[in-house]
Amino acid sequence: MLNDRFRSIVLLCLFAGLAGPAQAERADRTKPINLESDSMRVDDAQKTSVFEGKVVLTQGTLTIRADRITVRQDKEGHQYGSASGNLASFRQKRDGTNEYIEGEAERIEYNGKIDKVEFFNRARLKREPADEVRGNYISYDSRTEFFTVTGGAGTVAGGSPGGRVHAVIQPRNSAADGDKAPLPGAPGR
């Protein structure tokens, strides 16, 4: 049973790939995963693990917080993860910089088969110190580096009226800042 639980926790490594769109700290992948939750269920036959109750996953600079995290693996070995809550969030240092990427949504989905991360309902991504994008749905395909944000009916995260997409992109003032990559989906600087 311990090996089954260990295998399930290892699946979380790929779910931790949520920060992939953020050009995640590469060293994080070699760090141990620490997980805390109120409960854990493993269905080895279905290759599914469910962690519930104030779930906190850390791996190096990555932190994911959610009410519930579900991880599963398909027959071909592709991993899928879902974090949900009010709100599920992640934070991770960007590779090669002192900047962090933060994201939150009611539900965050990772599809390892197509390397895609989706943020559903009250979605927000922020690159410190101040670049931010908000909408009702955010999708990032890490293979193509294609990023989309859509609004929704009513009000979305941060009080954007009419469900419109909201983006804040700060100007870069120095030559060193000009070399930094923009937030995915943001126009080049």
What was the pLDDT predicted at 21?
A: 42
What was the pLDDT predicted at 142?
67
Kindly state the DSSP code that residue 45 receives in the 8-state scheme.
T
Residue written as tokens 């962690």?
A: 51
Residues of the chain with pLDDT under 50: 1-22, 155-157, 159, 178, 188-189
pLDDT of residue 9: 37
Q: Give residue 19's pLDDT.
A: 39
Beta strands in 77-158 (DSSP E): 79-93, 100-111, 116-127, 131-141, 146-150
- Confidence (pLDDT) at 12: 40
Tokens of 1: 């049973």
Do you find a cis peptide bond into 129, omega within 30 degrees of 0? yes
Q: What is the pLDDT of residue 5?
A: 38
Place of tokens 């599809």: 111
- Kindly give, in sequence order, each residue whose CB lies less than 8 Å from that of residue 20, ignoring residues fewer than 6 positions away: 115, 117, 140, 142
Query: Buried (b) or exposed (e) across 45-69, using 16+ Cβ within 10 A?
Result: eebbbbbbeebebbbbbbbbbbbbb
Amino acid, single-letter form, for residue 67: D
Could you tell me the two tokens for 48?
Answer: 């599914």
State the pLDDT at residue 2.
Answer: 36
**C-alpha span between 9 and 3 (Å, rounded):** 10
What's the N-to-C CA distance of the chain in angstroms?
A: 52
Q: Is the distance from CB of 186 to CB of 172 less than 8 angstroms? A: no
